[in-house]
Chain A
Amino acid sequence: MIELTNVSKTYGGGNKAVDDLTWTIPDGSITGFIGPNGAGKTTTIHMITGVLAPDEGQIKINGIDIMKDPIGAKKQFGFVPDEPDVFLRLKGIEYLDFIANLYDVPEDYRRDFIAKTAPRFEIQNALSSSIMSMSHGMRQKVMVMGALIHDPAVWILDEPMTGLDPKSSYVLKEMMHEHASAGKTVVFSTHVLEVAEKLCDQICIINHGKQLYEGTLGALQDQHKGESLEEIFLAETSDE
């Protein structure tokens, strides 16, 4: 579970990127985080993952305050960034080994994980190559594997489908379902509302740093009968 309580973040010049956000991302569900460009999604995700410190408020991951116990909180989640261009000089397998060492993953577990997950993503033949030699989509897959190798309780994914081929997108969605079904937390940001509509149990809509909606997708759709998520989203954000 991720709990944000009265979280705000202001950048230099008085630009309030996130304004008094209170949001609980529950276990056992897939939560979609949507908003227009510049709405504050990335800032929020960066605060949750510890990249940015909130100016106000509190963020807890599975009950651990990320500001008071950053190491403990960071062990709770696996983060997939929107740009997978990290550690380009490492081979895919070296990157996964590195992440596994950081999270103290036992040898047997990491070998099993790679043996099962790499074929699922169809990159078993690419892990021996450097990340630099991989396409964007393959790099994304390696990042996803790196985020999941320590079996985190919380998955935080920033635009995870970008660059993935249809089969890999399908595999990732399956894995997200499996993870949520196991009682764990999945939250991801996306611009592809059709994916959010099909995948998410919970939705949070943000614009200009303010939360416009937080709750189940069903309840949102009940409020806007007959409308697609895209139409609802456009309606919610149109007068901002």
Chain B
Amino acid sequence: MSAPLMAVVLLFCFAPLMGQVFTSSRLTYGLLAPTGQQGSIIGSALSMGAVMTLVFGVSMVVTYFYMATDLGTLLALPISPSLIVAAKFTLCMAYEYLMVVMYTGPMVAGYGVASGGGPLYWIAAVFVCVLLPVIPLSYAAVIIMIIMRVFRRLKNKKVLTVISTVVAVAAALLLSIFGQSLSDQTNAAGALSAARQLNGAYYVFPQLYLAQGALVGENILLLILFIAATALTIFVFLLLARVLYIKGAMGMSEVSSKRRALSRGETRKFMKKDGAFGSYVRVEIAKVLRSPVYFMNGVMMGLLWPLLIGIILIAGSADSSGSADAASSSAITSSAAVASGSAITSSAAVASGSAAASSAAASSGSAAASSAAVASGSATASSAAASGGASSLGNILSYFTEKAEDPMTLGIFMLIMLGLLFLIGSMDLMTPSTISREGQKIWFMKTIPMSYRDQLRAKIASSLPFSMGPTFVYGLIPAIVGIVHGMSPIVLIYMILLTVPSLLLINYIQLMFDLRWPKLVWQNEAVPIKQNFHSLAASAICIAIGAVIAMAAITLFTMLHVNVHVCVLIVIAVITALALVLRPISLRYGERRLEEL
């Protein structure tokens, strides 16, 4: 995909989020202006931007400063280390601007529109937004450079990738939990108090006082001081980098190993005869589990996506009383929740350094979130509203407990499971990249004495556990909780009958997409996963199919008054039939495509 087209796609994907943040900021200004506390909006915007830049900057610095393979080449050239560091820092800055564009920029713009800011405000806004990431990113870079200089054991790319990704994901989860705490506020005073928690960032980044003053007070002197403080930070950073960076970066190894002979037991274990199919499946699984990039995107994402969507849906659901206070406070809290929730979607991808792809992942997460909400959340929401407003997880559980024996409860639960299945299955990027991940080594598939059909079956069989695992975690546990609270145990049987054909159907669709548009030319193994928009398209289509099936089921139940058990069985039958039809089609297509590739 060309860069301009990618920019358009990203803008399209992020526009709703940016719009929501902008609107929230405007509404909150209206709420806080009578109390004279509207400056807190700018404070929150700057704090959020600075903190997120710092948090994600850690992973980005690790990736671009230490994981990039160009350092050996660069050091041999007549280029000063400061220039190398400055170039890498600029690259990280470019990615960090995504955070600024998504969150800080719209919040500042919303404030500016609501306050009727003059030319000086907007000039200050541009300067502040452009310079905001510099200081937190400098802090992140210096911290990492010191760590890498001191702890030589970290000079292992695999270890570093996993650590930095876990740190990023943990940070994003903490941000999400913080976002959920904001969502518990129900009035302006509470929202203001919660938002002020972010102002702790000012202790770490005192320069933010200057930026806030420049914006809120439209003060050019404070703006100049902020620019000067930023310039000073860069100067000090480059001085430190000259001392810390190169020696810390030299000697990074891709992977370490100890040379030792195999023991007799190991030889017996490794040399055990197995069928070709089973062996192929095991190797495919090993390739995913042992690659940090594939592990994060294949295993972790499947576990994190439902958590993310759950936090967004639950934290974002507001009291439906309709009061202005509640609506306004929910504007701050929901935007914070969405912002922090979306942070999870980007975290693992950002840690591996591909911000464009992480943005796409975030945007697909947003699309997935909204589709899942359509598929399964609307019924929940309307039922919750009808019962008087279930606005928290506790209330939702109470609702299910009270109405456990109601057939509608079973229907709602199965609808949620359907949405969950299609969401988890679609967001698992292993099957949609199973051919692309072969890259230029696809010749191996063509030279071994195993039919293409069997190899494709093995690839699907190896991908299934990565989506079945999270499905059972996020489906089985609620099912058991529901049964304990009085739901019919048949829900477990329905779940099992629904899971396998649903995931197979999704896998066949995703496989066909990857066969049709394989991304085989790459040097970095992250490319077939995170810069492969066809896999996202496949995921979107699978989610859409899930939504259509869910809508059809809702129509059957609500309008045609079909018994809920019959509805569930019809859905299972339809999905199973689709999977059975698509199986031979996808395998035949696969055989033909592999001959052509």
A residues whose Cβ falls under 8 Å from a Cβ of B: 46, 49-51, 53, 71-72, 74-75, 79, 81, 85-87, 89-91, 93-94, 97-98, 100-107, 110-111, 114, 124-130, 132-133
- Contacting residues, chain A, for B443 (C-beta < 8 A): 46, 49, 51, 81
Contact A101 B441 (CB under 8 A): no
- Give bound CA distance, A51 to B442, whole Å: 9
Instruction: Kindly state whether residue B35 has any CB partner on chain A within 8 Å.
Output: no
- Contacting residues, chain A, for B275 (C-beta < 8 A): 101
Contact B447 A51 (CB under 8 A): yes
Contact A110 B271 (CB under 8 A): yes
- Give bound CA distance, A168 to B430, whole Å: 38
Looking across the interface, which residue of chain A has its beta carbon closest to that of B259?
A: A125
The 7 closest A-B pairs by CB, nearest first: A129-B257, A101-B279, A133-B257, A89-B290, A74-B449, A75-B449, A125-B259
Q: How far is the CB of B421 from chain A (nearest CB, A)?
A: 29
Contact indicator per residue, chain B 432-461, by CB within 8 Å of chain A (1) or not (0)? 000000000101101111110000000000
Looking across the interface, which residue of chain B has its beta carbon closest to that of A89?
A: B290
8 residue pairs from A and B, CB less than 8 Å apart: A46-B443, A49-B447, A50-B447, A89-B286, A90-B283, A94-B270, A102-B276, A102-B280
Assuming the A-B contacts A125-B259, A129-B259, are A98 and B283 also in contact, with contact meaning beta carbons closer than 8 angstroms in the complex? yes
- Give bound CA distance, A130 to B257, whole Å: 7
Contact A127 B441 (CB under 8 A): no
Give residues of chain B (266-285) contacting chain A, Cβ–Cβ below 8 Å.
Answer: 266-268, 270-276, 278-280, 283
- Give bound CA distance, A86 to B447, whole Å: 13
Instruction: Kindly state whether residue B5 has any CB partner on chain A within 8 Å.
Output: no
Contact B447 A93 (CB under 8 A): no
- Contacting residues, chain A, for B268 (C-beta < 8 A): 111
Contact A89 B262 (CB under 8 A): no
Contact B255 A107 (CB under 8 A): no
Q: How far is the CB of B443 from chain A (nearest CB, A)?
A: 5
Instruction: Kindly state whether residue B488 has any CB partner on chain A within 8 Å.
Output: no
Instruction: Kindly state whether residue B254 has any CB partner on chain A within 8 Å.
Output: yes
Q: How far is the CB of A75 from chain B (nearest CB, A)?
A: 4
- Give bound CA distance, A53 to B278, whole Å: 28
Contact B271 A100 (CB under 8 A): yes
Instruction: Kindly state whether residue B8 has any CB partner on chain A within 8 Å.
Output: no
- Give bound CA distance, A45 to B47, whole Å: 61
Looking across the interface, which residue of chain B has its beta carbon closest to that of A85?
A: B441
Contact of A101 among B254, B255, B276, B446 (CB under 8 A): B276
- Contacting residues, chain B, for A127 (C-beta < 8 A): 262
Contact B286 A94 (CB under 8 A): yes
- Give bound CA distance, A216 to B323, whole Å: 94
Instruction: Kindly state whether residue B79 has any CB partner on chain A within 8 Å.
Output: no
- Give bound CA distance, A132 to B283, whole Å: 15
Instruction: Kindly state whether residue B153 has any CB partner on chain A within 8 Å.
Output: no
Contact of A102 among B279, B291, B446 (CB under 8 A): B279
- Contacting residues, chain A, for B290 (C-beta < 8 A): 89-90, 130
Q: How far is the CB of B432 from chain A (nearest CB, A)?
A: 20
Looking across the interface, which residue of chain B has its beta carbon closest to that of A132?
A: B255
Contact A129 B286 (CB under 8 A): no
- Give bound CA distance, A101 to B274, whole Å: 6
Looking across the interface, which residue of chain B has its beta carbon closest to that of A73?
A: B449
Looking across the interface, which residue of chain A has its beta carbon closest to that of B452?
A: A70
- Give bound CA distance, A53 to B592, whole Å: 12
- Contacting residues, chain B, for A132 (C-beta < 8 A): 254-255
Contact A97 B271 (CB under 8 A): yes
- Contacting residues, chain B, for A100 (C-beta < 8 A): 271, 273
- Give bound CA distance, A94 to B262, whole Å: 12
- Give bound CA distance, A228 to B40, whole Å: 85
Instruction: Kindly state whether residue B258 has any CB partner on chain A within 8 Å.
Output: yes
Contact A90 B257 (CB under 8 A): no
Instruction: Kindly state whether residue B595 has any CB partner on chain A within 8 Å.
Output: yes
Q: How far is the CB of A102 from chain B (nearest CB, A)?
A: 5
Contact of A74 among B258, B441, B447 (CB under 8 A): B447
Q: How far is the CB of A62 from chain B (nearest CB, A)?
A: 13
- Give bound CA distance, A39 to B276, whole Å: 36
Contact indicator per residue, chain B 509-538, by CB within 8 Å of chain A (1) or not (0)? 000000000000000000000000000000
Instruction: Kindly state whether residue B287 has any CB partner on chain A within 8 Å.
Output: yes
Instruction: Kindly state whether residue B561 has any CB partner on chain A within 8 Å.
Output: no
Assuming the A-B contacts A50-B446, A100-B271, A110-B271, are A93 and B266 also in contact, with contact meaning beta carbons closer than 8 angstroms in the complex? yes
Instruction: Kindly state whether residue B386 has any CB partner on chain A within 8 Å.
Output: no
- Give bound CA distance, A55 to B451, whole Å: 21
Q: How far is the CB of B538 from chain A (nearest CB, A)?
A: 25
Instruction: Kindly state whether residue B77 has any CB partner on chain A within 8 Å.
Output: no
Q: How far is the CB of B221 from chain A (nearest CB, A)?
A: 56
Most chain A beta-carbon contacts within 10 A, residue among B275, B287, B448: B448
Contact A128 B283 (CB under 8 A): no
- Give bound CA distance, A101 to B291, whole Å: 23
- Give bound CA distance, A126 to B262, whole Å: 9
Contact of B270 among A72, A93, A104, A106 (CB under 8 A): A93
A-B contact sample (20 more), CB < 8 A, given A74-B448, A87-B283: A49-B443, A49-B447, A53-B595, A71-B451, A74-B449, A79-B447, A86-B444, A93-B262, A93-B267, A97-B279, A98-B280, A101-B274, A105-B273, A107-B273, A111-B271, A125-B260, A125-B261, A126-B259, A128-B259, A128-B261
